[in-house]
Chains A and B, each alone.
Chain A
Amino acid sequence: MSHPSMDILVAYAAGALEPGFGLVVGAHLETCETCRAQLRSLETASGEALSSLPAASVGADALERVLQRLDEVPQGQATAPTRPLLQQLPLKPRRWLAHNVWVSAVDTPHASDNRVYILSAGAGTEIVRHRHSGAEFCTVLAGAFRDENGRFAAGDFAAMYSTDEHCPVVDGDETCICLFATEGRLQPTDMLGRLIFAWAGV
């Protein structure tokens, strides 16, 4: 299985990844016990680091305000949501790019210049060759794709960087569904690709 690199996991554990990129790492973690174990040790280290931080001054009435809220009935979801990550995503309507390809964007109010989306492509589909203007994280949710770097199946995590160019092809008979986060827009290397990607908003 392909995993996020250690620096990605460390940044994720520290809360330092942009949330859209964190979602993609989270989708991998849901299926990967190895990375979850790593994450737990990183969280322990982060907890130790937290204990050693200097305390910022809090408002004079901060404790009082907290104590007043203790009896409130919690609103909204509990702190530990039990639904799978993907069902929690605020997905926008699907946009069909071809008879067997659609994208559905995830709302990312925090970062308009980053895009998070699900791409579903039927068996045999070839995605237009493209470059990345920034980092791209991807976790395969179902099916598999293949590109110059190898084969990526359900649960696999892949990271691409601004200099990387690739031409992914859906591998096998199953529809391939992936969760992506991209920094900036994808840059198709031909005109048709540009039109398609512009329509898809990716």
Chain B
Amino acid sequence: MCAPRRELAVHDPAESSDEALLVGIAGGDREALAALFARYAGKVKTYLKRLGALDATAEDLAQDTMVSVWRSAASFDPNKAKASTWIFVIARNAWIDRLRRERVELAYRNSVTPAEDSTAETPQDSALRALEADQVRAALGALSDDQKLVVQLSFFEDRPHSEIAAQLALPLGTIKSRLRLALTKLRTHWEKQS
């Protein structure tokens, strides 16, 4: 009856930084987890699909990732890592673990499947994305050109995910050719500008 009113809470989870949410999650705050879920679950799913996961696998692993975030949050140290890095590593490891343990059907291996997320983005979405991508590109400034190219190709290319996955999930020869491809594209870009 005299339970503390929610309005008295110091922070609204929706306005907290990712790092603050993780600290809250470490303290057992379920609302913080729900807020972090709203920010990251869909992005994690997109990332996994770009690596070649089928929709159902990506959904499954995105949920697993959020459960792992809950279980491991105590090991998150905001002085050592950004929340996005920490969540990324959990999602990536969940994917690798799954691949190691079982035969996972990859989207790119049945490329006849139409890309189901080809639904058009609203112009507002793309504007927002472009803005965010700019911020990321700024953050990537410390990397070498080669590093930037691969990261950008892995995450930002607006091609069907099956096509990207087909390139990404293959080892070396492909990565080499991907770099070559990237260099060719950039050259075209420069030629257009000059």
Q: Report which of A14, A57, A108 forms a contact with B168, defined as CB distance below 8 A.
A: A14
Instruction: Count chain A CB atoms within 10 A of each CB in B66, B70, B101, B168 and give the residue with the most.
Output: B66
CB neighbours of A69 from chain B (8 A): 63, 67
In the bound complex, what is the Cα–Cα distance between A135 and B132 (angstroms)? 36
On whether A53 and B155 interact (CB within 8 A), knowing A58-B42, A161-B173, the answer reads: yes
| Interface residues as binary, A30-72 with B (CB distance below 8 Å gives 1, 0 otherwise) | 0000000000011111111111111111110011011101101
Q: How many residues of B sit at the interface, in one of the four size bands?
A: 35 or more
Tally inter-chain residue pairs, CB-CB below 8 A. 208
A56 touching B175, Cβ below 8 Å: no
A79 at the interface (CB under 8 A from B): yes
Inside 8 A of B8's CB, which chain A residues have their CB? none
Whether the pair A50, B43 counts as a contact (CB closer than 8 A) is yes
B interface secondary structure, majority? helix
Residues of chain A lying within 8 A (CB to CB) of residue B59? 58-59, 62
Complex CA gap A66/B152 in Å reads 30
- Of the candidate stretches A18-26, A94-102, A147-155, A187-195, the one touching chain B is A18-26
- Is B54 part of the contact surface with A, judged by Cβ < 8 Å? no
Give the nearest-CB partner of A116 in chain B: B100
Most chain B Cβ neighbours within 10 Å, of A62, A79, A80: A79
Interface size grouping (class) on chain A: 35 or more
- State which of B67, B140, B169, B176 has its C-beta within 8 Å of the C-beta of A16: B169
Looking across the interface, which residue of chain A has its beta carbon closest to that of B140?
A: A45
User: What are the residues of chain A within 8 A of B66 when measuring CB–CB?
Assistant: 66
Q: Does B150 contact A (CB under 8 A)?
A: yes
Which B residues are in CB contact (< 8 Å) with A162? Answer: 173
Query: Which residues on B sit within 8 Å (CB–CB) of A56?
Result: 42-43, 45-46, 49, 55, 58, 117
A8 and B136 form a contact (CB under 8 A): no
List residues 59-112 of chain A with CB under 8 A from any CB of chain B.
59, 62-63, 65-67, 69-70, 72, 74, 78-80, 108-110
